[in-house]
Amino acid sequence: MAPFFLQQFLEYLQKEKRYSEHTCLAYQIDIQQFFDFLVISSKEDLLEISSLLIRGWMVDLIDNSYSNRSVNRKLSSLRSYFKWLKKEQIVQLNPMQKVQGPKTEKRLPSFARTSDLSVENLEEMFDDSFEGKRDKLVIEMFYQTGIRLNELIHLKNADIEHDRIKVVGKRNKERIIPISQKLFLLIEDYRNVLKLNNLDNELLFILKSGNKVYPKLVYRIINSYLGLVTNLDICSPHVLRHTFATHMLNNGAGLETLKDLLGHANLSATQVYTHNSFKQLTNIYSQAHPRGHKKK
């Protein structure tokens, strides 16, 4: 049985908060799981939900081997749901106000080495077919621009110029990202293949059927190709976004610039990448500190 008011809540996330389909689905799964645990069958049951019951669900998740990070994400979904219920005056009290999630260790973003994504490696992996040119461009687009999965899927041909792309990010915010001449030539090469196959489309990344690419396919593309050149445990679009950010910092980009390129709302979200820039710190130390110089 679907949780009470869940559909209205999801519509609020989509239309007012401008959350992506992927994010809304995650909220739906988390909230549905909570209601399945409590076996809610009426609006009265909804009004009886207490912080004690929520803590019981939290304990059950941990007992079933969910990580602290996963538990906190589910609690965050529930927190947003009850906050909306209270705003809509469906409930008078928000039981989440007395619930604290388990502590989690900050996990540093995984990233690929520059050598892993060398031109030589990429040239060897892809053929000249439609899928080969598309998949190569998918990887290059993530690595050279740092865009998100949803941003790539909805990237339009009209938003691409010879030296920049316009990206529609979270909360429908637009930003401009510069692109290299080499990346633009890859885009043009892929577009020529689309024309040869009569696949003109508003969107840049599509299937051979003409439909837009979907998240699972993009994950599969990244996992299959990135797994050939790296030893990373996880190979995903977000790893390439982390790689873009880390390599930018290692080569002198400032945090404010990186924040704008990634589309972060505040600088604190960008600062996590400073932990991965140890290479840059080492170079600065060896050049600046009297005892940091290596003996000739």
| Token pair of 249 as six digits | 């910092």
Choosing from 241, 242, 247, 259, the catalytic residue is 241
Adjacency order of strands within the sheet including 160-161: 160-161, 164-168, 174-178
Same domain, 153 and 229: yes
Q: At residue 11, does pLDDT exceed 90?
A: yes
Domain's final residue, options 69, 98, 127: 98
Average pLDDT over residues 209-233: 85
pLDDT at 149: 93
pLDDT at 296: 45
How far is Cα 239 from Cα 146, in angstroms, rounded to an integer?
10
Same domain, 72 and 125: no
Is 247 part of a structural domain of the chain? no
Most confident stretch, 114-123, 245-254, 255-264:
255-264
Q: Please, what is the average pLDDT of the chain?
A: 84
**Closest by CA position to 182, among listed 123, 258, 256:** 123
Share of the chain above pLDDT 70, in %: 82
Same domain, 126 and 53: no
How far is Cα 35 from Cα 77, in angstroms, rounded to an integer?
13
CATH, residue 13: 1.10.150.130
pLDDT at 290: 65
* 86 classed as catalytic: no
Is 249 part of a structural domain of the chain? no
pLDDT at 156: 96
pLDDT at 34: 93
Same domain, 65 and 120: no
Same domain, 56 and 163: no
| 3 state SS for the chain | CCCCCHHHHHHHHHHCCCCCHHHHHHHHHHHHHHHHHHCCCCHHHHHCCCHHHHHHHHHHHHHCCCCHHHHHHHHHHHHHHHHHHHHCCCCCCCHHHHCCCCCCCCCCCCCCCCHHHCHHHHHHHCCCCHHHHHHHHHHHHHHHHCCCHHHHHCCEHHHEECCEEEEECHHHCEEEEECCHHHHHHHHHHHHHHHHCCCCCCECCECCCCCECCHHHHHHHHHHHHHHHCCCCCCCHHHHHHHHHHHHHHCCCCHHHHHHHHCCCCHHHHHHHHHHCHHHHHHHHHHHCCCCCCCC
* 220 classed as catalytic: no
Choosing from 164, 212, 238, 279, the catalytic residue is 238
Q: Who has greater pLDDT, 282 or 124?
A: 124
CATH, residue 187: 1.10.443.10
Average pLDDT over residues 49-61: 92
Choosing from 133, 134, 136, 148, the catalytic residue is 148
How far is Cα 119 from Cα 246, in angstroms, rounded to an integer?
18
Average pLDDT over residues 44-66: 89
Domain's final residue, options 203, 218, 237: 237
Is 192 part of a structural domain of the chain? yes
Q: Who has greater pLDDT, 123 or 54?
A: 54
Same domain, 125 and 199: yes
Same domain, 211 and 137: yes
Residue for token pair 């600065």: 284
Q: Who has greater pLDDT, 147 or 200?
A: 147
Choosing from 12, 19, 225, 273, the catalytic residue is 273
- Looking from the CA of 201 toward its CB, the CA atoms found within 13 Å total 23
Same domain, 225 and 140: yes
Q: Is the Cβ–Cβ distance between 67 and 23 less than 8 Å?
A: no
Q: 196 lies in which domain range?
A: 115-237
Q: Who has greater pLDDT, 152 or 169?
A: 152
Q: Is the Cβ–Cβ distance between 41 and 1 less than 8 Å?
A: yes
Domain's final residue, options 187, 203, 237: 237
Same domain, 152 and 227: yes
* 170 classed as catalytic: yes
Is 262 part of a structural domain of the chain? no
Q: At residue 136, does pLDDT exceed 50?
A: yes
How far is Cα 164 from Cα 175, in angstroms, rounded to an integer?
10
Same domain, 90 and 119: no
What pLDDT, in 10s, does the model give residues 107-120? 555 666 655 566 55
* 293 classed as catalytic: no
Average pLDDT over residues 233-242: 83
Choosing from 170, 191, 212, 279, the catalytic residue is 170
Average pLDDT over residues 59-77: 91
Same domain, 28 and 53: yes
Q: At residue 162, does pLDDT exceed 50?
A: yes
* 18 classed as catalytic: no
pLDDT at 102: 86
Is 203 part of a structural domain of the chain? yes
* 69 classed as catalytic: no
Q: From the centroid of its chain, how far is CA 54? A: 28
Same domain, 121 and 91: no
pLDDT bin (cut points 50, 70, 90) of residue 171 is confident
Is 27 part of a structural domain of the chain? yes
Is 261 part of a structural domain of the chain? no
Is 42 part of a structural domain of the chain? yes
- φ/ψ of 161, rounded to 5, equals -120, 175
Q: At residue 1, does pLDDT exceed 70?
A: no
